[in-house]
Structure 1
Amino acid sequence: MLRNLYTFLLIIGLNSVFAQKIHSHNDYVQPRPFWEAYESGANSIEADVFLVDGKLYVAHEKNEINPERTLEKLYLEPLNKVNKARKRQELQILIDLKTSAEPSLQAVSEAIAKYPKLARAHSKKKYIKFVISGNRPPISEYTKYPSYIFFDHQSLKDLEKGDKSKIALVSFSIGSYSKWKGDKPMTDEEKLKLKTIIDSVHTYGYPIRFWATPDTPLAWQTLFDLSVDFINTDQPKASRFFFIK
């Protein structure tokens, strides 16, 4: 047990000084949702969420919904526990809405509001953010939502008009720019395409993430070298150890 505690503290300590951020993609398929990524020092954790009969379920597809796997049980309750224990690791919970934006977002806002300390955690140290992805309202409506709700914008369009305080990051599918498989070095042409979009997002002052990226050490290193802010991975533990080795 002491060894596990030492390993956990080591990872968190190194994570606090190492700049590269890790995004645990589809985190709910991990053997231990939330905990696997959190204990690996991930900075972003993703959950696909469906609103069905007034309840928020975490699943990849609607037909895979399990009544026991709710947003509260898998993510809000564990997050509240570590928050109470004052284990203040910089973290964003990226909630990918799979059902209609407005009712789903209303339900998410109400679920978070049941945990006042979580709802306030962004305001001072900004160490916890709830970020809405997937089905989202128009950028012009971002400010309508509570202060603890942020957004994953997925276009360069309207970024200059958006309220910077409500946009947590900007994300794109890597397939829109590259067919690279991550098994051999990326071509200079592909690097230039990616670097152009990365620099554009950074010019607006936002961090960037690509989804559907190859999930190999070569891919992690290449994206790091291109200054991608969040490395998208299904292997948060392996990815974190890769960057701290």
Structure 2
Amino acid sequence: MVVFALTLVAAKATIGADILFVERTEARLLEYPTQITQNIMPKMIHSHNDSLSYGVASVEADVSLYNGTLYIGHENAALTSDRTLDSLYIQPLLKILTEVNPQNAFTVNSTSPNGVFDTASGLPLQLLIDVKTDGVEALPFILKAFQPLREAGYLTTYANGTLITSAITVVGTGNSPLEQVKALSPRDYFFDAPLTQLTDPSLNTTWDPSLSPLASTDYGTAVGWNGIGTISDEQKANITKFVGDAHALGITARFWDTPAWPIYARENIWKALLEGGADWLNADDLAAASSF
């Protein structure tokens, strides 16, 4: 027993020395290809503040087409010549995905690419494209802009009756043109369905994940509770009904424009939505949402 104890002590000392040596020399033994998002836990949060560092799994880009270029900004006054869809989204995502999908002997037989999150490599990043200008005019330019990600196999695609999930699922919203999106074949640009109208036959549309992996609606119109006092049974029923309609079709549900203040009211609303089955928490205060 004495010999065993001494051996254990010696081993611990050796291991400690080895670790210290590796840390001091910054050896590549401590590094691995996909660590760019190391220790980030993805969360079902949707936000304009597109920060992967908080684990946001759904981000939104406000896109305007001018003179053949797609610019990023919620309104015209926010647009600048260098803030484009390509510079702020396409190229950064391509860089991240290239890094987390190294080409080597260990990955040669991989059948699907890693997503952006190291802790959940099979989870696609949902990217909403909120078209602010004419959607029919903008769509061809948007599809062309995603060509680098398409060529690399990073886009979720519906083709020949099969939906193949990949690292990024692109969903058009805002002025995205429904009929033109329905006509895409193959389709790697999907449509944000109207959450409150999924059972409305007048829309003449079959809603399912091959067209719309997501359905959204304005929280104020659909629910209306301001988070102060007690939510009514009718308001609760609205949440569960619309969420239930989406889930019955295999679609996730999101309520946008939820009140952001007072803070306690905002959190009451978040809680009510989560308890009602909503899939995405709409938020701009990422620090608060990620720790909620």
Q: Same fold judged by TM-score > 0.5?
A: yes
Q: Secondary structure in 1 aligned to 2:259?
A: coil
What's the % identity of the aligned pairs? 30
From 120, 137, 140, the counterpart of 1:106 = 140
Distance apart, 1:141 and its partner CA: 4.7
1:134-157 C-alpha deviation (Å, 9 max, x unpaired): 112234751325532111112323
Structure 1 runs not aligned, ≥5 long:
28-33
Partner residue, 1:194: 239
Name the CA distance, whole Å, in 2 between partners of 1:217 and 1:8. Answer: 27
AA of the residue aligned to 1:78: P
Partner residue, 2:11: none
Name the CA distance, whole Å, in 2 between partners of 1:162 and 1:21. Answer: 22
Name the CA distance, whole Å, in 2 between partners of 1:136 and 1:119. Answer: 23
AA of the residue aligned to 1:82: I
Name the CA distance, whole Å, in 1 between partners of 2:236 and 2:283. Answer: 19
Instruction: Assess if the C-alpha contact under 8 Å between 2:213 and 2:250 holds in 1.
Output: no
From 213, 216, 238, the counterpart of 1:168 = 213
Partner residue, 1:22: 45
Name the CA distance, whole Å, in 1 between partners of 2:54 and 2:204. Answer: 32
Residues paired across the two proteins, number: 224
Distance 1:56 1:145, change over 3 A: farther
Q: Secondary structure in 2 aligned to 1:10?
A: coil
Name the CA distance, whole Å, in 1 between partners of 2:222 and 2:246. Answer: 15
Confirm or deny that 1:59 pairs with 2:82: no
From 91, 104, 110, the counterpart of 2:125 = 91
1:82-138 C-alpha deviation (Å, 9 max, x unpaired): 111116232111000011111211111000013345554325553311110011223
Instruction: Assess if the C-alpha contact under 8 Å between 2:63 and 2:85 holds in 1.
Output: yes
Instruction: Assess if the C-alpha contact under 8 Å between 2:155 and 2:170 holds in 1.
Output: no
Q: Secondary structure in 2 aligned to 1:11?
A: coil
**RCO higher in structure (CA 8 A, sep ≥6):** 1
Distance apart, 1:168 and its partner CA: 1.9
- Following TM superposition, the consecutive aligned residue runs of length 4 or more in structure 1 with deviations greater than 4 angstroms are none
Name the CA distance, whole Å, in 2 between partners of 1:109 and 1:93. Answer: 13
AA of the residue aligned to 2:46: H
Q: Secondary structure in 1 aligned to 2:39?
A: helix
Instruction: Assess if the C-alpha contact under 8 Å between 1:48 and 1:95 holds in 2.
Output: yes
Partner residue, 1:220: 270
Instruction: Assess if the C-alpha contact under 8 Å between 1:180 and 1:214 holds in 2.
Output: no
1:163-188 C-alpha deviation (Å, 9 max, x unpaired): 64121211111121232222444222
Partner residue, 2:183: 143
Name the CA distance, whole Å, in 1 between partners of 2:237 and 2:231. Answer: 10
Partner residue, 1:132: 172
Structure 2 runs not aligned, ≥5 long:
1-29, 101-113, 118-123, 158-163, 261-265
Partner residue, 2:279: 229
Q: Secondary structure in 2 aligned to 1:95?
A: strand
Name the CA distance, whole Å, in 2 between partners of 1:180 and 1:224. Answer: 14
Partner residue, 2:111: none
AA of the residue aligned to 1:81: K
Confirm or deny that 1:45 pairs with 2:59: yes
Q: Secondary structure in 1 aligned to 2:291?
A: helix
Instruction: Assess if the C-alpha contact under 8 Å between 1:209 and 1:229 holds in 2.
Output: yes
Name the CA distance, whole Å, in 2 between partners of 1:46 and 1:39. Answer: 15
Q: Secondary structure in 1 aligned to 2:227?
A: coil
AA of the residue aligned to 1:207: T
Instruction: Assess if the C-alpha contact under 8 Å between 2:223 and 2:235 holds in 1.
Output: yes
Distance 1:135 1:224, change over 3 A: same
Q: Secondary structure in 1 aligned to 2:246?
A: helix
From 255, 271, 276, the counterpart of 1:210 = 255
Name the CA distance, whole Å, in 2 between partners of 1:72 and 1:236. Answer: 24
